[in-house]
C-alpha cells in the first residue's frame, strides 16, 4: 500500500479545507440563498413592529414585506443584510425563551427593536435597523392607503393643489 | 458612413442652449439637425405624478442615458468649518469622513436637458455680476453687458412663458413679463413674514410656470413637483417650448439617442464633420455649415478635448489652453425645520418667493460674490409622505405614525445659492483611466472651495439659521450644503467667452476665436456665475443672440 507523504497529506487537507470554506463563503457571503419562509415570518413581524396597524393599516397589510423581499432578490448584499438581521432578531428572541421573533408578543418585540434602534450605527443591528426603517417607510408611504389622517390629498396629479393659498383643509 | 450635407446647422445637445438655437435658426428657415444623447420623454405617459408611488422615484430618467464622470481628489475638511457640515437629526452627519465627498454632477440627458428637472426659475443676471473683474478683481468680465442681452431675455421669456414681477429695480426690462407672478402660497407667507422681521425682502420669483393659460398650454395646478417632470406641460421646459416650436417649423430634424463622439477639425479653420454613434450603435457622421456645441460645462469641454487631431492638436477651440479651466459649480445651502401650525407646505410651485437683497457681488459684508435666498421645500424633496417618514419624523412604531399625522405639511425649507468664482484647482480634464460605454475617455471634475467661497456659504447658512426661526420654525432638523459634498446642477465657465483670444475660448457671439463655423452655447461660456441666479434663461438669451448673429453672417455670405 502506498503511503501518503506528510507533504501530500497537508496539501490535500488544505485543499479540502479551502473547498469547504469557499462553499461556505459562496453561500453566505457571495451569493446568499433567497429569503426563506421562516425569515419572511421574522421580517414581517419586525416590519409590523416598525409600522403597526392602528387607524391605518400596518406594514404587513400593505405588503411591505413582499416589496422588501422582492428588492432583495436581485441585490445580494441587501439579501445578506436581511438574513443576518432576521437571525439577530431570532437570537434576541432566545433571551425570552422563544425560538423566533415572530412568536413574541408585541411588547417584547418592541423591546428588541428598541435595542436595534439604539445600537452602534456601524453594528449589524444598527445597520439593519437604519436600512430597513428607510425601506419600510419608502414602500409603506408609497401606497395611498397609508395617507389617511395625514391631511394629504395626493398623489400630486392630476388634480394638483389649487387651494395652495389657503390654510390646509379650508377649501375642499 | 457620411451623410450628405443636408443640414445648414448641426446642434449637439437639446438643452436650453441647443433648444433655443434650434428654435431661432429653424424660424429663420435654416435646415437644422439636433443630435441629442438622451431620449425624448413624453409628458403624457412617462411622468409618474399621478401614481401613488410617485415619490419613490425622482424624474424617471433611464439608467442607460446617465452620463459617466470621474472626480479628482476632493479637499480635506477642516474643523474650523464644522458649522458647514451636512446633517440630519435622525441620520447624523451625512459625510462621516474628513474629506469632501462626491454626491455628483446632476446632468440630464434628453430633449429639454436640465430644464426637464428644473424648478422653473427664469432669472436675469444682475448687471454687476457680469463685470466681476473690472469691478472686483475676480473671474473675468463678460464681453457684453446686460443691456446688450436684455432684448434676448425678452424673447426667451415670451417663448417659455415667464410669470413674474416687472418691478425689479436692478434688472432693467424693456417689456413686461408675459404673465403675472404667481400668488405666494399659504405656507410661504410665514417665510416672507420671517424675512420681513429681519429687515429683508422676499419678493415674487420669476418662473417659467404658467400662472394663466398661455400658448396652448394650461395654467399650473400647484402640485409642487416641477423637478419630477411636468405632465401638464405648464412648466416651460425646453422640450415643450423651444424644441416643440423648432420641430413644428418643419425645418428642424431631431435625432435622439445619438452620442456625439468627436468633432472633425479640418483645414481652413472649419469643423468639417460631427461624428456620433446612433441609437443602434452605428458610427455615423454629418456635416453642416455651422456646428453648435451645447452640452453643458462638463461635456462641452470634454467633446472639444476629445476632438484633437493634426489640425487642432489641443482640441478645437483650445488654442488658448482655456478649455476646461475656470470651472465653477453650484455652491448652495439648504435647511429645513418644522413649523408648529398646519401649513400644507406640500402645495404650490417649487419656489414662488425669492430674496435678492444679497445678490449683488459686493452685498455680503467682507466677501466678494453674492447669493440669493429662496423657498425650497420641493427642491429639498420635502413635499411627500415618504421623505417626511424617513427624514423629518424620528423613531418608529405607533408613535412614529402619530407624529407623521401631527407633522405632515408643516415643514418650511429655505435654500441659498451663492456665487462661485474660478479657482486654479477647479477645472475639467480627461481622465486617462476611465471610459464610458462607448469606450470614450470621460470628463474628470476637479473642484475646490477656497475660504472666500466658504465665507459666502457661511453667510448663507447663518442667515437661514436666523430666518427659519423668525418664520416660526421651532427646530431645524436638517441642513446640507456644498462644503462637505460636491453636488452640482449648475456648472459654468469651462469655455469662457471673451474678446481676447489668448484668455478665452469663444468671442462675444459665442463663436470660437479660430474655428469660424464652431459656436458654443451653454453655461460653459459664462465668465462668471452670478450671485445665485438660475442660468437657463441667460443661456437661452445668449443662444437666441448667437442665432441672430449666425443668420447675419450667413446673409452676408460670411459662413
pLDDT digits (tens, 9 = 90+) for B245-280: 999 999 999 999 999 999 999 999 999 999 999 999
Q: What is the pLDDT of residues B194-252, one digit of tens each?
A: 999 999 999 999 999 999 999 999 999 999 999 999 999 999 999 999 999 999 999 99
pTM of the model as a whole: 0.94
What is the distance between the alpha carbons of residues B548 and B55, in angstroms, rounded to a whole number?
Answer: 42
Q: What is the pLDDT of residues B155-185, one digit of tens each?
A: 999 999 999 999 999 999 999 999 999 999 9
Position A27 pLDDT exceeds 90 = no
Average pLDDT, whole number, for chain B? 96
- pLDDT of A14 reads 61
**Which residue of chain B is at minimal alpha-carbon distance from A157?**
B50
Burial of A30 (0-12, 13-18, 19+ CB in 10 A): exposed
Q: What is the pLDDT of residues B474-493, one digit of tens each?
A: 999 999 999 999 999 999 99
Sign of CA dihedral B76, B82, B87, B93: positive
Percent of chain B with pLDDT over 70: 99
- pLDDT of B4 reads 41
Beginning with the edge strand found earlier in the chain, give each strand of the sheet holding B259-265 in spatial order. B259-265, B271-277, B283-286
What is the distance between the alpha carbons of residues B124 and B543, in angstroms, rounded to a whole number?
Answer: 14
Question: What part of A 135-154 touches B (C-beta under 8 Å)?
Answer: 137-144, 146-147, 149-152, 154
Chain B interface mutation, best of A156, A159, A161, A162, highest count of B Cβ atoms under 10 Å = A156
Q: If you count residue pairs, one on A and one on B, with CB atoms under 8 Å apart, how many are there?
A: 134
**pLDDT tier, B3 (very low <50, low <70, confident <90, very high otherwise):** very low
CB contact under 8 A, B396 and A117: yes
What is the distance between the alpha carbons of residues B255 and B111, in angstroms, rounded to a whole number?
Answer: 10
What is the distance between the alpha carbons of residues B252 and B6, in angstroms, rounded to a whole number?
Answer: 11
Q: What is the pLDDT of residues A117-134, one digit of tens each?
A: 999 999 999 999 999 999
Give the residues across from B335 on adjacent strands: B414, B479
CB contact under 8 A, A49 and B397: yes
Residues in chain A: 172
Q: What is the pLDDT of residues B115-128, one digit of tens each?
A: 999 999 999 999 99
Q: Which of A86-90, B498-502, B555-559 has the lowest mean pLDDT?
A: B555-559
- pLDDT of B559 reads 83
Q: Minimal Cα–Cα distance from B476 to chain A, Å?
A: 21
CB contact under 8 A, B186 and A113: no
What is the distance between the alpha carbons of residues B422 and B138, in angstroms, rounded to a whole number?
Answer: 8
Does any CB of chain B come closer than 8 Å to the CB of residue A37?
no
Sign of CA dihedral A121, A123, A127, A130: negative
Position A20 pLDDT exceeds 60 = no
**Which residue of chain A is at minimal alpha-carbon distance from B383?**
A156
Q: Minimal Cα–Cα distance from A5 to chain B, Å?
A: 50
Burial B409-441 (b: 16+ CB within 10 A, else e): bbbbbbbbbbbbbbbeebbbbbbeeeeeeeebb
Q: How large is the average pLDDT for residues B327-342?
A: 97
- pLDDT of B406 reads 97
Considering only CB atoms, which chain A residues are within 8 Å of B63?
none
**pLDDT tier, A97 (very low <50, low <70, confident <90, very high otherwise):** confident
Find, among B469, B43, B58, B353, the residue nearest to A164 by Cα.
Answer: B353
Q: What is the pLDDT of residues B35-47, one digit of tens each?
A: 999 999 999 999 9
CB contact under 8 A, B384 and A154: yes
Residue B398 is nearest to which of A52, A147, A154, comparing CB atoms?
A: A52
Q: What is the pLDDT of residues A30-80, one digit of tens each?
A: 668 899 999 999 999 999 999 999 999 999 999 999 999 999 999 999 999
Measure the CA angle with vertex B23, ends B21 and B519; round to 5°. 10
- pLDDT of A9 reads 62
Chain B interface mutation, best of A57, A141, A148, A167, highest count of B Cβ atoms under 10 Å = A141
Question: Which residue did the predictor score with more confidence, B53 or A17?
Answer: B53
CB contact under 8 A, A168 and B186: yes
Find, among B372, B380, B449, the residue nearest to B411 by Cα.
Answer: B380
Instruction: Please give the helix or strand (H or E) that residue A106 lies within, else none.
Output: helix A106-118
C-alpha cell at B45: 405617459
Q: Minimal Cα–Cα distance from B191 to chain A, Å?
A: 14
**pLDDT tier, B2 (very low <50, low <70, confident <90, very high otherwise):** very low
Q: To which residue does cell 458610427 refer?
A: B283
C-alpha cell at B151: 432684448
CB contact under 8 A, B385 and A51: no
- pLDDT of B377 reads 93
Which residues lie below 8 Å from residue B410, measured CB to CB, with a gap of 6+? B338, B339, B340, B341, B342, B343, B345
Q: Sort strands B475-481 and B87-88 into parallel, antiparallel or unpaired.
A: antiparallel
Average pLDDT, whole number, for chain A? 89
Q: What is the pLDDT of residues B517-530, one digit of tens each?
A: 999 999 999 999 99
Considering only CB atoms, which chain B residues are within 8 Å of A165?
183-186
Helix (H/G/I), strand (E/B), else coil: B422: coil
CB contact under 8 A, A168 and B185: no
Burial of A31 (0-12, 13-18, 19+ CB in 10 A): exposed
Q: To which residue does cell 466677501 refer?
A: B367
Percent of chain B with pLDDT over 90: 97
**pLDDT tier, B440 (very low <50, low <70, confident <90, very high otherwise):** very high
What is the distance between the alpha carbons of residues B187 and B517, in angstroms, rounded to a whole number?
Answer: 51
- pLDDT of A1 reads 41
- pLDDT of A22 reads 56
Q: Minimal Cα–Cα distance from A45 to chain B, Å?
A: 12
**pLDDT tier, A96 (very low <50, low <70, confident <90, very high otherwise):** confident
Burial of A78 (0-12, 13-18, 19+ CB in 10 A): middle
Helix count and strand count (H, E) for chain A: 6, 0
Does any CB of chain A come closer than 8 Å to the CB of residue B348?
yes
Find, among B20, B140, B30, the residue nearest to B551 by Cα.
Answer: B30
Position B403 pLDDT exceeds 60 = yes
Q: Minimal Cα–Cα distance from B385 to chain A, Å?
A: 6
Helix (H/G/I), strand (E/B), else coil: B78: coil
Does any CB of chain B come closer than 8 Å to the CB of residue A46?
no
Question: What part of B 166-205 touches A (C-beta under 8 Å)?
Answer: 183-186
First-to-last alpha carbon distance for chain A, in angstroms, is: 94
Residue B386 is nearest to which of A52, A142, A157, comparing CB atoms?
A: A142
- pLDDT of B62 reads 83
- pLDDT of B61 reads 86
What is the distance between the alpha carbons of residues B369 and B135, in angstroms, rounded to a whole number?
Answer: 11
Give the residues across from A146 on adjacent strands: none
Q: To which residue does cell 449648475 refer?
A: B490
Position A153 pLDDT exceeds 60 = yes
Question: What part of A 79-118 touches B (C-beta under 8 Å)?
Answer: 110, 113, 117
Q: Yes or no: say if B222 and A162 are a contact pair by the CB < 8 Å rule.
A: yes
What is the distance between the alpha carbons of residues A65 and B168, in angstroms, rounded to a whole number?
Answer: 54
Amino acid at each position: 500500500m502506498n503511503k501518503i507523504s506528510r507533504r501530500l497529506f497537508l496539501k490535500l487537507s488544505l485543499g479540502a479545507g479551502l473547498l469547504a470554506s469557499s462553499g461556505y463563503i459562496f453561500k453566505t457571503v457571495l451569493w446568499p440563498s433567497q429569503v426563506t419562509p421562516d425569515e419572511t415570518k421574522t421580517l414581517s413581524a419586525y416590519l409590523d413592529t416598525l409600522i403597526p396597524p392602528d387607524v391605518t393599516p400596518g406594514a404587513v397589510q400593505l405588503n411591505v414585506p413582499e416589496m422588501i423581499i422582492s428588492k432583495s432578490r436581485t441585490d445580494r448584499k441587501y439579501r445578506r443584510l436581511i438574513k443576518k438581521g432576521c437571525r439577530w432578531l431570532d437570537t434576541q428572541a432566545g433571551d425570552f425563551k422563544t425560538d423566533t421573533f415572530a412568536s413574541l408578543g408585541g411588547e417584547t418585540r418592541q423591546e428588541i427593536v428598541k435595542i436595534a434602534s439604539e445600537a452602534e450605527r456601524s453594528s449589524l443591528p444598527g445597520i439593519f435597523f437604519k436600512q430597513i426603517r428607510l425601506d419600510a417607510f419608502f414602500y409603506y408611504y408609497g401606497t395611498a392607503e397609508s395617507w389617511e389622517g395625514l391631511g394629504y390629498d395626493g398623489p400630486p396629479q392630476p388634480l394638483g393643489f389649487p387651494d395652495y393659498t389657503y390654510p390646509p383643509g379650508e377649501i375642499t | 458612413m457620411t451623410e450628405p450635407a443636408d443640414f445648414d446647422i448641426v446642434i449637439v445637445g437639446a438643452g436650453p442652449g441647443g433648444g433655443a438655437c434650434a428654435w431661432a435658426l429653424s424660424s429663420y428657415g435654416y435646415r437644422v439637425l439636433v443630435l441629442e444623447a438622451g431620449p425624448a420623454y413624453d409628458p403624457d405617459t412617462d411622468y409618474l405624478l399621478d401614481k401613488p408611488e410617485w415619490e419613490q422615484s425622482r424624474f424617471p430618467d433611464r439608467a442607460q442615458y446617465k452620463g459617466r464622470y470621474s472626480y479628482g481628489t476632493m479637499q480635506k475638511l477642516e474643523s474650523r468649518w464644522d458649522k458647514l457640515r451636512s446633517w440630519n437629526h435622525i441620520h447624523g452627519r451625512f459625510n462621516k469622513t474628513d474629506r469632501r465627498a462626491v454626491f455628483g454632477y446632476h446632468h440630464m440627458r434628453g430633449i429639454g436637458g436640465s430644464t426637464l428637472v428644473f424648478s422653473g426659475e427664469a432669472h436675469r443676471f444682475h448687471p454687476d455680476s457680469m463685470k466681476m473683474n473690472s469691478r472686483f478683481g475676480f473671474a473675468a468680465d463678460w464681453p457684453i453687458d446686460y443691456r446688450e442681452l436684455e432684448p434676448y431675455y425678452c424673447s426667451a421669456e415670451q417663448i417659455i412663458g415667464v410669470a413674474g414681477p416687472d418691478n425689479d429695480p436692478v434688472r432693467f426690462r424693456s417689456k413686461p413679463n408675459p404673465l403675472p407672478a404667481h400668488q405666494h402660497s399659504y405656507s410661504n407667507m410665514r417665510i416672507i413674514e420671517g424675512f420681513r422681521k429681519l429687515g429683508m425682502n422676499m419678493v415674487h420669483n420669476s418662473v417659467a410656470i404658467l400662472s394663466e393659460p398661455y400658448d396652448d398650454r394650461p395654467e399650473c395646478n400647484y402640485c409642487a413637483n416641477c423637478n419630477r417632470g411636468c405632465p401638464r406641460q405648464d412648466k416651460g421646459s425646453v422640450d415643450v417650448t423651444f424644441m416643440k416650436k423648432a420641430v413644428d417649423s418643419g425645418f428642424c430634424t431631431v435625432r435622439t439617442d445619438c452620442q456625439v463622439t468627436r468633432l472633425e477639425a479640418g483645414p481652413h479653420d472649419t469643423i468639417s464633420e460631427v461624428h456620433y454613434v446612433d441609437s443602434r450603435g452605428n458610427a455615423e457622421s454629418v456635416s453642416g455649415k455651422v456646428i453648435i456645441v451645447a452640452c453643458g460645462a462638463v461635456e462641452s469641454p470634454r467633446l472639444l478635448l476629445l476632438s484633437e487631431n493634426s489640425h487642432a492638436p489641443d482640441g478645437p477651440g483650445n488654442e488658448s489652453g482655456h478649455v476646461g479651466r475656470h470651472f465653477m459649480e453650484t455652491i448652495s445651502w439648504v435647511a429645513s425645520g418644522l413649523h408648529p401650525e398646519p401649513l400644507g407646505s406640500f402645495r404650490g410651485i417649487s419656489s414662488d418667493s425669492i430674496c435678492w437683497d444679497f445678490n449683488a457681488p459686493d452685498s455680503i459684508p467682507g466677501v466678494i460674490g453674492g447669493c440669493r435666498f429662496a423657498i425650497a421645500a420641493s427642491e429639498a424633496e420635502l413635499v411627500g409622505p415618504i421623505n417626511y417618514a424617513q427624514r423629518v419624523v424620528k423613531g418608529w412604531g405607533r408613535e412614529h405614525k402619530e407624529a407623521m399625522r401631527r407633522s405632515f405639511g408643516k415643514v418650511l425649507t429655505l435654500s441659498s445659492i451663492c456665487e462661485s468664482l474660478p479657482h486654479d484647482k477647479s477645472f475639467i480634464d480627461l481622465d486617462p483611466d476611465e471610459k464610458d460605454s462607448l469606450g470614450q475617455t470621460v470628463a474628470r471634475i476637479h473642484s475646490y472651495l477656497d475660504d472666500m467661497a466658504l465665507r459666502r456659504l457661511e453667510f448663507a447658512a447663518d442667515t437661514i439659521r436666523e430666518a427659519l426661526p423668525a418664520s416660526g420654525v421651532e427646530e431645524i432638523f436638517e441642513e446640507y450644503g456644498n462644503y462637505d459634498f460636491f453636488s452640482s446642477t449648475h456648472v459654468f465657465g469651462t469655455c469662457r467667452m471673451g474678446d481676447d483670444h489668448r484668455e478665452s475660448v469663444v468671442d462675444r457671439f459665442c463663436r470660437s476665436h479660430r474655428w469660424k463655423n464652431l459656436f458654443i452655447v451653454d453655461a460653459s461660456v459664462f465668465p462668471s456665475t452670478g450671485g445665485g441666479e438660475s442660468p437657463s434663461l441667460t443661456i437661452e438669451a445668449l443662444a437666441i443672440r448667437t442665432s441672430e448673429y449666425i443668420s447675419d453672417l450667413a446673409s452676408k455670405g460670411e459662413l
